[in-house]
Amino acid sequence: MKLAEASVITDELKNLLNVEFGPEVYEVEKGMLKKFADAVGDPNPLWRKVAPPTFATALRLDELTQKMWTVKCPLTRFLNAGNELEYYQPIKVDDVISVTGKLADIREREGKMGKMLFMTLELTYKNQKGETVIKGRNTIIRY
């Protein structure tokens, strides 16, 4: 009988689960929206006043992101497995957006190349009035 291999979900990762990070605050300026729209190749003039749909993904929660990249884990490669964004209201020029979030789920799976670790981040974006504008989920795979 073969002994089960050790889990790639380390204690350090487990200790990050459901810990709230943030807020990180971003002042949305016209230039930010233009640069983002240019980067994604969308010339729609609306994006000079209102943020394009995926703009929230550029408003990072740096402390949490840094933890995800540096936490001890035998798996060293990363893949963005996708973003889900639920919109409540648009982000506009002159909004001040506060981003908070947490590592909400960790799952280990076996793939063709070996073990994979699925880490799901949940993020909340609020404007200067304290209103939720977007809720997001980002899944990162380590392999």
The answer to whether position 133 is within a domain reads yes
CATH number of 94's domain: 3.10.129.10
Q: What is the pLDDT of residues 24-45, one digit of tens each?
A: 999 999 999 999 999 999 999 9
Rounded to the nearest 10 degrees, how much is the dihedral formed by the CA atoms of 104, 77, 109, 83?
40
Q: How many helices and strands, by DSSP H and E, does the chain display?
A: 3, 5
User: How many separate domains does the chain show?
Assistant: 1
Predicted local distance difference test score (pLDDT) of residue 4: 53
pLDDT at 1 over 50: no
The answer to whether position 39 is within a domain reads no
Asked whether 101 and 26 are in contact (CB, 8 A), the reply is no
Q: How far apart are CA 58 and CA 134, in angstroms?
A: 13
Host domain of residue 136: 11-27+59-142
> Which residues, listed in sequence order, are joined to residue 116 by a DSSP beta bridge?
109
The answer to whether position 34 is within a domain reads no
User: Which residue type does 92 have?
Assistant: K
Is the pTM higher than 0.85? The answer reads yes
Q: What is the pLDDT of residues 67-110, one digit of tens each?
A: 988 998 899 999 999 999 999 999 999 999 999 999 999 999 99
Residue 28: CB atoms within 10 A of its CB come to 20
What's the start-to-end Cα distance of the chain, in Å?
26
Q: What is the pLDDT of residues 107-131, one digit of tens each?
A: 999 989 899 999 999 999 999 999 9
The answer to whether position 36 is within a domain reads no
Residue 116: CB atoms within 10 A of its CB come to 19
The answer to whether position 41 is within a domain reads no
